Structure 1
Amino acid sequence: MSPNLPSPTAAAARPLPPIFLSHGSPMTALEPGEAGPFWQVLAARVAALNDGRPPRAIIAVSGHTLTREPVLLAAARHPTVHDFYGFPPPLYELRYDAPGAPALAERVAGLLQDAGLPVHRVDEGGLDHGIWAPLRFIWPQADVPVLPLGFPPDWSPAQLYRLGQALAPLAADGVLVYGTGAMTHNLRLLSGPAGRPSIAAPERAESAAFRTWFAERSAAADWPALLDYRAQAPHAVLMHPTDEHLLPFYVAAGAADRGDGAPPARRLHDSVTYGCLGMDAYAFGPDAAAPA
């Protein structure tokens, strides 16, 4: 067992509900806006489900770590990756160098193989800003082991839901499945003749309609509609010209499916930045409401 990965205890913790967090612009690492206070209390709410402890480890599925087939980044330690350019210098000075989870990578690889899914394990690491920007507010000490799982952006929501299903057994061991992306993500809307809108700009009607549809279908556990969101959700293509930032939602949702019916989904946080970047957060499964 990796020295960075705490051993399971005999305490009867409740399975941790998988979560999806919208990480927004890289600037949220410095200016988190309305999402900041939510992120700052999320650690305590997760600990309340885990006998007062943080997660044993975090499996991070980010819209910025994209691979041709699923890849586990099994390094013993992850450096901070500043995968952006043109931002203020203080943003590049931030560090979130977290421990890795090599031993957990072996188990995850086995679960994916048992599910008939391809998987690769590499002894390399690094946390993209989609992973570390929220985590620096949730667990600021960077002391919870992280296992990034790269995913193929050309897989459908149903395929990624199935990928998440393979991870479902981990929740009972205190492992948190963490999807990070954006509920709405069209960076073209941030540029125009008037320049970038302010961070507090009024929300576009199309963004509000899309986010409301997702919240309503999630509350109803309407997975046939959610999995077909690109055809059924209002303004889906405008809000996601490419959908890599929404796809981690489906991995997290699938990780709550233990074969006993469609998992409930609960929107935990609801805000928007720049008028079109949704910062919504969701949890999945029977305890989805607990972190709210």
Structure 2
Amino acid sequence: MTLPFPSLFVSHGSPMIALEPGETGTFLQHLGRTLAAGWGRPRAVLAISAHTTARAALLLGAPRHEAVYDFGGFPPALSALRYDAPGDPALAERLGQTLALPVVEHGGLDHGIWTALRYLIPAADVPVIPLTLTPHASPAQLMALGEQLQGLGADGVLVLGTGSITHNLRLLMRSAVTGTAAGDGVPEMPESAAFRRWFAERSAARDWPALAAYRAQAPHATLMHPTDEHLLPWYVAAGAGGRDHAPLRIHEGVTFGCLGMDAYAFGPQAGALQDALAHADARADTPADAPAAAS
């Protein structure tokens, strides 16, 4: 029997991750292979990103989605990349009825979605249904929206939130002057490290009130998120996993010293995914001619 999918939040960072995967792109490839091996092929991906927003939540139910190049000032090679995935209008309509959400026959995958999916599902052969983000909504409201998505993982639908665990463009541009194009060689700001650590600790403790009030309680919250649209998809994915299970950080990293690239898994399968990722890492680190352990 197919295992229920955990819901996920991944940090996509700069659009340049599509050309320069770095540690996070490599992790996303690893994550995609681990999910395929242990959980199989998703029936569909329900994706919510910092970059597809609307005044109210709605589902994009087009039969086909193309990559949207919603950025500027990057190398032409970035806009030459393709990620054209099918949609699933019938499933979108069913979800819309279940969730009491409108469904519009509109297509397109913003860069937060397609840059992550090109590593997670490189064949672009799994239907995608984008769910718009309402950036004026509170974390608690988005948690409640996510809670309506509980059970989708058991139905073969992978709920994927994509943003960045920290995101301050002013700091990013300043740090990019001293770093490489991939963001290497820039030490992490203490404020970024403190914020990421607080978020991971509060998640492990299932401290939902503190997480919902992160702007008031997390260290350096307004510096790390002058606006919080890049963090808000985390709350939808967390709600889809349910409050009974601690969010688990399954990847941590930072580029340009201030752009957090952490990833989280949620729900009853989060621990199994964390273990599967660790075991795959251990196998990769073991030389092919290493002697087998004695039983």
TM-score of the pair, normalised by structure 1? 0.90
CA drift of 1:289 comes to 2.2
1:141 aligns with 2:123: yes
Equivalenced residues, count: 271
**Offset at 1:194?**
8.4
* Pairing 1:22–2:11 present: yes
Determine which of 87, 90, 104 is the counterpart of 2:77. 90
In the TM superposition, residue 71 of structure 1 has moved relative to its aligned partner by 1.4
How far has the Cα of 1:107 moved from its partner?
A: 1.9
Percent same amino acid at aligned positions?
A: 61
SS at 1:291 equivalent: helix
Alignment correspondent of 2:59: 72
Structure 2 distance, partners of 1:246, 1:223, is 15
CA contact (8 A) 1:207 1:278 kept: yes
**Counterparts of 1:93-132 in structure 2 under 5 Å?**
93-113=80-100, 119-132=101-114
Task: Identify the residue that residue 164 of structure 1 maps to in structure 2.
Answer: 146
Give the match's secondary structure for 1:153. Answer: coil
Q: Secondary structure at the match of 2:162?
A: strand
- By percentage of residues, which structure has more helix? 2
- Shift in Å at residue 104 of structure 1? 1.4
Equivalent in the alignment of 1:220: 205
Check conservation: 2:175, 2:257, Cα contact below 8 A: no
What SS does structure 1 have at the residue aligned with 2:9? strand
Q: Structure 2: which 5+ residue stretches go unaligned? A: 275-295
In structure 1, the residue corresponding to 2:3 is in which secondary structure? coil
Query: 2 CA distance for matches of 1:145 and 1:181?
Result: 20
Note closer, same or farther for the CA distance 1:195–1:38 as it changes in structure 2 (3 Å cut). Answer: closer
Go from structure 1 to structure 2 and tell me whether the alpha carbon gap of 1:13 and 1:234 turns closer, same or farther (over 3 Å shift).
same
Whole-Å separation in 2 of the counterparts to 1:228 and 1:193: 28
Q: CA deviation at 1:37?
A: 1.7
Letter of the aligned partner of 1:14 in structure 2?
L
Give distance in 1, aligned partners of 2:157 and 2:81. Answer: 26
Structure 1: where are the runs of 5+ without partners? Answer: 1-11, 114-118
Structure 1 residue ranges (4+ consecutive) displaced by more than 4 angstroms after TM superposition: none
User: Could you tell me the TM-score, scaled by structure 2's length?
Assistant: 0.89
Pairing 1:247-262 to 2, within 5 Å after superposition: 247-257=232-242, 261-262=243-244
> Are residue 263 (structure 1) and residue 245 (structure 2) matched?
yes
CA distance change for structure 1 residues 103 and 217 in 2, over 3 Å: closer, same or farther? same
> Considering only aligned residues, what root-mean-square deviation do their CA atoms show, in Å?
1.4
